[in-house]
Amino acid sequence: MTISQVPRNNISDNSNFQDGNLLNVQCKQQLADGISGLLSAIGNGVDREGTAKTPTRVANMYDDLLSGYTVDTNALLNGALFEVEYDEMVVVKDIDFYSLCEHHLLPFYGKVHVGYLPDQKIVGLSKIPRLVEMFARRLQVQERMTQQIATVMDELIEPIGVGIVVEAQHLCAAMRGVKKPNTVMTTSAVRGLFKRNSTTRDEFMGHVRHS
């Protein structure tokens, strides 16, 4: 069965859409039409009743999944930097995240571990998971996301050093391709003293290993 032979009953009505944080009505309609074409191409394998509202659902979903593009990093941390006399390492571990691989649009997910050595300033605890979420909710590759988190931590908090470790499983390697569902990819990025001093770096990695 070809695309032309399948009636496109799944085309959505843009009256179902409202402007979102990232996608306006027109963008959502364009996405929905693309999903309708995908469902039509699949043909008889699609449950027409079950997928009738799928294009609309998917278009609205992407406004949420890609919401990280709309977040301003300076606004995110504004008012959450505090002057404190603390010169030991701060580590926030096991921050859950979900992201979309930009190569196949399949999810990858896992945990982020963040450590930094303050230089008279600390950041509010909730801001670090929010920072991870900002970069995760984009079309991503794990390597870039790891570097982005480290760079923003380094530039906005201005610590003595920063360390980031990301551990993730990728559905593009589990559901397709090599089909190895238990594969875990680990990436890291270090800045400042974490990069120059092996003792500091080892202390951070020790915290991570005891997750």
Residues known to be catalytic: 101-104, 142, 170, 172
**What residue spans of the chain are helical by DSSP H?**
25-42, 54-65, 73-77, 127-136, 142-157, 171-174, 193-196, 198-209
Residue type, 64: D
Q: Is 189 helix (H, G, I), strand (E, B) or coil?
A: strand
Token pair for 13:
């009505």
- Alpha-carbon distance 36 to 39, whole Å? 5
Q: What are the backbone angles phi and psi of residue 11, rounded to the nearest 5°?
A: -65, 130
